[in-house]
Amino acid sequence: MSARANILGKLRRSLEGTMPRPDEFNERLVTEPWWYAPEDRIARLRSLMEAVHTEVHPCSSGNWPALVADLLARRNLTNLLCAPGTDHGRELHQHVGATEQRVNLLAYDQPVEAWKEELFWNVDASLTGTLGAIAATGSLVLWPDRQEPRLMSLVPPVHIALLNASEIHDNLYDMMVAQNWAAGLPTNVLLVSGPSKTADIEQVLAYGAHGPRELIVLVLEDA
Partner 1 sequence: MSQRIPATELSANFRGRAGEALADGQLSSNFRTAMDSLMQKRANAFPDADEREGLRELGNRIKARSLSKLPDLLEQLEQKLTENGVKVHWAETVEEANTLVHNIIEARKGRQVVKGKSMVSEEMEMNDYLAERGIECLESDMGEYIVQLDGEKPSHIIMPAIHKNARQVSKLFHDKLGEPETEDVNQLIQVGRRTLRQKFMEADVGVSGVNFAIAETGTLLLVENEGNGRMSTTVPPVHIAVTGIEKVVANLRDVVPLVSLLTRSALGQPITTYVNLISGPRQPDELDGPEEVHLVLLDNGRSGAFADAQMRQTLNCIRCGACMNHCPVYTRVGGHTYGEVYPGPIGKIITPHMAGLHNVPDHPSASSLCGACGDVCPVKIPIPELLQRLRQENVKNPEEPQLVKGGGAKFSRKERWIWRSWQMLNTRPGLYRLFLWAATRMRALAPSNVGPWTENHSAPVPARRSLHDLAAAHLDSSGETSS
Partner 2 sequence: MSELFYDAAPNATRVAPERETDRHYPDKPEAVTLFGTCVVDLFFPEAGLDAIRLLEREGIRVNFPQAQSCCGQPAWTSGYRNEARAVARAQLEVLDRPGLPVVVPSGSCAGMFRHHYRALFADEPDTLKRVEALAERTFELTEFLLKVCRVQLSDQGEPSQIALHTSCSARREMNTHLHARELLGQLDKVERVDHDHESECCGFGGTFSVRMPEVSGAMVNDKTRSLIDSGAVEMVTADGGCLMNINGSLEKQREAFRGRHLASFLWERINGSAAGEVA
- Distance of alpha carbon 85 from alpha carbon 90, whole angstroms: 7
If one asks whether residue 204 binds partner 1 (CB under 8 A), the answer comes out as yes
Q: List the interface residues with partner 1, window 118-177 (CB under 8 A).
A: 120, 136-139, 144-146, 149-151, 154, 171-173, 176-177
If one asks whether residue 47 binds partner 1 (CB under 8 A), the answer comes out as no
Q: Which of 1, 12, 17, 117 binds partner 2 (CB under 8 A)?
A: 17
If one asks whether residue 93 binds partner 1 (CB under 8 A), the answer comes out as no
If one asks whether residue 192 binds partner 1 (CB under 8 A), the answer comes out as yes
If one asks whether residue 14 binds partner 2 (CB under 8 A), the answer comes out as yes
- Distance of alpha carbon 223 from alpha carbon 220, whole angstroms: 5
- Distance of alpha carbon 181 from alpha carbon 42, whole angstroms: 23
Q: Do residues 154 and 211 make contact, with C-beta atoms less than 8 angstroms apart?
A: yes
Q: Which of 112, 179, 221, 223 binds partner 1 (CB under 8 A)?
A: 112
Cβ-based nearer residue to partner 2, 21 or 146: 21
What are the two backbone dihedrals, phi and then psi, of residue 133, each rounded to the nearest 5 degrees?
A: -150, 170
Q: From 221, 216, 220, 219, select the one nearest 72 (Cα to Cα).
A: 216
Cβ-based nearer residue to partner 2, 24 or 202: 24
Three-state secondary-structure class, residue 183: helix
If one asks whether residue 194 binds partner 1 (CB under 8 A), the answer comes out as yes
Q: Which ranges of 52-171 would DSSP assign to H, the alpha helix? A: 64-74, 87-99, 116-122
Cβ-based nearer residue to partner 1, 9 or 97: 9
If one asks whether residue 184 binds partner 1 (CB under 8 A), the answer comes out as yes
Cβ-based nearer residue to partner 1, 59 or 151: 151
Cβ-based nearer residue to partner 1, 36 or 181: 181
Interface with partner 1 by CB under 8 A: which range of 17-25, 57-65, 88-96, 162-170? 17-25
**Which amino acid is residue 62, in one-letter code?**
G
If one asks whether residue 28 binds partner 2 (CB under 8 A), the answer comes out as no
Kindly provide the b/e burial profile for residues 93-132, where b requires at least 16 CB atoms within 10 angstroms of the residue's own CB: eebbeeeebebebbebeeeeeeeeeebeeebbbbbbbbbb
Binding positions for partner 2, rule: CB under 8 A: 14-19, 21-24
